Structure 1
Amino acid sequence: MSSSSLSSIDLHRIFHKLDRNGDGLVSLGELNWLLERVGVQYSLDELESLVGNTTLDFNEFLVFYESISTEKKGESEVEEEEVKEEEEEEDVGDLAKAFRVFDLNGDGFITCDELQSVLSRLGMWEENGGGDCRSMIKVYDTNSDGVLDFEEFKNMMLLSTI
């Protein structure tokens, strides 16, 4: 598993946010809604062939998450290194796309307001008990300017989960 993987607590929280009707199952539509918001595009048919069902319970959701987050392994050390380099390039590209999602005004920095706005849209920020986004930024703000540049954002995403 990569260093950017989510904890089981985070996955449990995400699962329950997706399970809007509280039936203990996440539909492919609900799962696709989340995937689209993080920049992953699947048709419902593709998603059903990946998942093998039209709904997922929490354990199936964990298996699906593991299957899409597990690093590929090459057959030899050379292939493994090439795959790792390609994945790192893809990760940086994916992180750049994610950074642009959070950088709402396109100025190259993520402010507290931008972070809170995007997390709210994703259903991952609770106004009453969500915590302080300034303290979230401060942990990774290495130059103490109160905002996250791309390198700081990359460190945040690779070293933790929001």
Structure 2
Amino acid sequence: MFDKNGDEIITVHDLSQALTLLGLDADFSELESTIQAHIKSGNDGLEFEDFVSLHHGGQQLQQQDHDQSAHEISQEESDLSEAFKVFDEDGDGYISAHELQVVLRKLGLPEATEIDRVEQMIFSVDRNQDGQVDFFEFKDMMRSVLISTS
């Protein structure tokens, strides 16, 4: 979603634009200084692994000790909760097909034009088959995406 031109690099501009589309305004210079530490030497932006590293605050996903592990889990939970709120526009605790469609439209993704595809996306992660994605289903989906791509 962030790599609009498909070059497998996410620039500061790409990231800033995506965050703005989602209504999450970020100061460009602060964003730039934050991600510079995660860009490999010689690159103009983040590769996928760099983006994952940025998401995890540059920390490895290894359990160093119980306190650190508990902190990472609570930070991950907080991050996922914030991401969920972006999709759950009405704040009812569920992501409907319409809400997902709105976010996809904001991101300029072609899937947003076809409600059948959006409903299929919901169905694919909707474990209790209520036609909506709750926070636990969202969390499971996000964790499986991060695990399968790392």
Query: What TM-score do you get using the length of structure 2 for normalisation?
Result: 0.68
Matched position secondary structure for 1:132: helix
Give, in whole Å, the separation in 2 of the partners of 1:147 and 1:24: 31
- 1:145 is aligned with what amino acid? D
Greater RCO (CA < 8 Å, at least 6 residues apart)? 1
Match of 2:124 in 1: 139
Gap regions ≥5 residues in structure 1: 1-12
Instruction: Select which of 108, 112, 120 maps to 1:123.
Output: 108
Quick check: 1:28–1:48 contact (8 Å CA) kept in 2?
Answer: no
Quick check: 2:87–2:95 contact (8 Å CA) kept in 1?
Answer: yes
Q: By how many angstroms is 1:137 displaced?
A: 1.3
Structure 1 stretches of 4+ with a deviation exceeding 3 A read 22-27, 35-43, 73-77, 124-131
Q: By how many angstroms is 1:46 displaced?
A: 5.5
Matched position secondary structure for 2:129: coil
Quick check: 1:103–1:114 contact (8 Å CA) kept in 2?
Answer: yes
Quick check: 1:38–1:98 contact (8 Å CA) kept in 2?
Answer: no
Instruction: Select which of 1, 5, 13 maps to 1:29.
Output: 13
Give, in whole Å, the separation in 1 of the partners of 2:116 and 2:16: 27
- 2:53 is aligned with what amino acid? S
Query: What TM-score do you get using the length of structure 1 for normalisation?
Result: 0.64
| RMSD across aligned positions (CA) | 3.8
Give, in whole Å, the separation in 1 of the partners of 2:35 and 2:83: 24
Cα displacement string for residues 86-145 of structure 1 (whole angstroms, at most 9, x for unaligned residues)? 111111111111111111111111100101111221233444579712111112211111
Gap regions ≥5 residues in structure 2: none
Q: By how many angstroms is 1:82 displaced?
A: 2.2
Match of 2:51 in 1: 65
Match of 1:102 in 2: 87
